Amino acid sequence: MKNPMLEAVSLLLEKLLLFSNFKLFSSGAPGEDKARNSFYAINSFLRGDVLEVPRVHLTHYGIYLGDNRVAHMMPDILLTLTDDKKLTQKVVSNKRLLLGVICRVASIRVDSVEDFAYGAEILVNHLDKSLKKKALPNEEVAERAEQLQGPLTTYSLLWNNCEHFVTYCRFGTALSPQADKFCEILKLIIRDQRSVLASAVLGLASIACLGLAPHTALPAIFIPFFLWMAG
């Protein structure tokens, strides 16, 4: 049986990661980005290659399928609102992306290299070096990505994101070093006893400002307590 408290904490951590790292796509119009960087060395990409698009705080991943097509996991709220493929196949806007992450809905979609990269630099197979894992044959990687294409899937920034999709296709195991790094940083924060003091001070401040009530007193007591026990 799942622990409701752990599920709530997990959901909170995912939202914190989202709002601290929400730089996946630039805020400008797609045409502006493409105009600045409209050419990619598509001929140098091999079917089954991992394409990586570094952003300010995170990296977006996809699998190259050949013929200027990239399979990648993309959150999109529009998937829950319509079955019209003409609408859902349009480039995902920031609003659609954000709402899709919050509602935890995504799909494995196929876009052109230009739409996938959104004007940013593309790295090829960089994960092979950083993870130091042996990659599966490129054709098998591409076939895995194609088999997962289409159906709705539950999206999670920590447990099921674009990096999990790519590493499953490329190495046979779903991994996300980006999410792992965030969790490690969170562990350091929790283990730092100053976090207990800071949460206690904030709790007292909320009671002083909002008055003594269950919605102020309980967090002021339990948050420092759980941080103390976890540390």
H-assigned helices in 25-176 = 30-36, 85-88, 94-103, 113-117, 126-131, 138-148, 162-171
For 41, the 3-state DSSP assignment is coil
The catalytic position among 72, 183, 209, 215 is 72
The catalytic residue among 57, 103, 126, 162 is: 162
* CA nearest neighbour of 123 among 23, 70, 19, 49: 49
Over 70: is that where the pLDDT of 227 sits?
no
Q: How distant is the alpha carbon of residue 39 from its chain centre?
A: 26
Residue 220 has pLDDT above 90, yes or no: no
215 belongs to the catalytic site: no
pLDDT digits (tens, 9 = 90+) for 129-154: 888 888 999 999 999 999 999 888 99
- The verdict on whether 57 is a catalytic residue reads no
What is the tens place of the pLDDT at every residue in 151-183? 889 999 889 999 999 999 999 999 998 888 887
- Would you say residue 104 has pLDDT above 90? yes
31-49 pLDDT tens trace: 444 433 445 778 889 999 9
Q: What is the pLDDT of residue 10?
A: 56
Report pTM.
0.69
Q: Among 162, 175, 147, 161, which residue's Cα sits nearest to residue 65?
A: 147
DSSP 174: -
Determine which one of 60, 126, 169, 183 is catalytic: 60
